[in-house]
Structures are given as C-alpha cells and as structure tokens.
C-alpha cells in the first residue's frame, strides 16, 4: 500500500500489486495447440521452430516444439515489461546437454518456443536403438538487476525408445 499526500492532506491509499515472474506454463499458438507441437521423426530433413525457421538441416532424429508463457506469483500472465530469460538444464542423463540460451522477452506480446530435439547430422549421427536423453528444463528471468528463478520445471525425454522415436514432456509447478 502506498499513501500519498497533496498539500498536506492525505489521499486515499492505493494498493499496488507488483508482479514477479514466478512460473511458466504451456500456451496455445499456431502449430502447438495447448503449447505442444507434434512429435516429428526426421530422416535427412529440417528441424523447424514454430516461426517456421530452420534450426538444423540434414537432420536425423526426432523433435518437438513447445510454447510457453511467463506467469506471476498469482499464476496470471505478465502482460507488461521486458525481461531477459536464461534457460537452465539439469539432471541431464547424457551430457553435455543443450547449451542454455539467453532470450529477451517482451511480455506484452511474447512467450518463447523451446524446440527439443535428439540427435544429429544425417547419416553419421542418427540415434541408435535405445539412444535417448532425459533432462529437466527451467528458466531464470532477470528484470533490471534482479534475478528470479522460476519454480516451474519441465521433465523432457527424447530419442529412440525400443525402436520408436518419441519426445515426452511433464510440467511441474509447485
């Protein structure tokens, strides 16, 4: 609550709610209803993000696109301001794991697209039988000079499981 005075007279107190980036959740966008795109096995083809841009060409493996938005401490979307997001990967079953990326997100219009893929350039680096990886995915958001570690974690698995190419995701928000 902030109390202001004008000419010595106290004005009616006003409550301010300060939104803090605290969680994230799947968000529906074209190509990823409910925040999840189709599971796409690829043999000598492209890995495309949800903007339709090529991430990798001559690929061999499997991938899936996910779309996320940031929520505040009351689980409402943040609709104003800009922050720098940094990906956090942990519990990586097959190291070294993905390189964390740094993104500038304008909350008024933007969320982010995470593309989870496994494995490499055709034909040398195709996934072998039962060649797969699991990892936990999180995000920190920096607003000004304050860093917020988002509480949400997504557990991904991806690769070849008993001969089937698959990607799974399980989102946990405490």
Partner 1 sequence: MKKLIVVAASFLMAWLAGAQTATNPTEETPQSHGSSGIVLPELQLRGSLSTMFAALVKEAGLSGGVATSNKGCFHGPEGSIFVSAGTSFDKAVAQVAMTRAASQWQLRDGVANLLPGGGAPPLLQVQVRSFTWDKATPVREVLDRLRQLPEVAEEASKLGLREAPLQGGASTICIRGDCSEKPKAETMLETDEGVSLFTVLNRVVQAHRGTVWNYSEYRCDNGTLFSLSVLSE
Cis peptide before 102 (omega within 30 of 0): no
Scanning the structure block, which residue is given the tokens 């008993």?
162
Q: Which of these segments, 5-13, 14-22, 103-111, binds partner 1 (CB under 8 A)?
A: 103-111
- Under the criterion CB under 8 A, does residue 53 sit at the interface with partner 1? yes
DSSP 21: -
> What span, in angstroms and rounded, lies between the C-alpha atoms of 115 and 136?
14
DSSP 14: B
Closest contact distance (angstroms) between CB of 58 and partner 1 is 6
- Under the criterion CB under 8 A, does residue 51 sit at the interface with partner 1? yes
Neighbour order of strands in the sheet with 23-26: 23-26, 54-71, 40-48
Q: In this complex, which beta carbon is closest to partner 1, that of residue 73 or of residue 140?
A: 140
> What span, in angstroms and rounded, lies between the C-alpha atoms of 16 and 173?
25
Pick out residues in 136-165 that bind partner 1 (CB under 8 A): 140, 142, 144-147
Q: In this complex, which beta carbon is closest to partner 1, that of residue 4 or of residue 146?
A: 146
Query: Which residues contribute to the site for partner 1 (CB under 8 A)?
Result: 27, 29, 47, 49-51, 53-59, 61, 63, 67, 69, 79, 84, 86-88, 94-106, 108-121, 124-125, 133, 140, 142, 144-147
């Amino acid at each position: 609550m902030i109390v202001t005075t004008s000419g010595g007279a106290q004005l009616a107190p006003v409550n301010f709610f300060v939104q803090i980036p605290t969680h994230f959740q799947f968000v529906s966008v074209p190509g990823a209803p409910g925040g999840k795109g189709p599971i796409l096995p690829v043999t000598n083809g492209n890995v495309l993000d949800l903007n339709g841009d090529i991430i990798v060409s001559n690929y061999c493996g499997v991938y899936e696109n996910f779309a996320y938005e940031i929520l505040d401490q009351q689980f409402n979307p943040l609709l104003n301001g800009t922050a720098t997001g940094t990906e956090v990967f942990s519990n990586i079953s097959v190291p070294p794991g993905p390189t964390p990326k740094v993104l500038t997100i304008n909350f008024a219009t933007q969320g982010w697209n995470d593309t989870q893929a496994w494995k490499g350039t055709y034909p040398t680096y195709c996934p072998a039988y039962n060649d797969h990886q699991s990892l936990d995915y999180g995000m920190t958001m920096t607003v000004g000079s304050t860093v917020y570690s988002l509480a949400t974690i997504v557990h991904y698995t991806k690769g070849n499981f008993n001969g089937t190419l698959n990607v799974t995701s399980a989102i946990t928000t405490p």
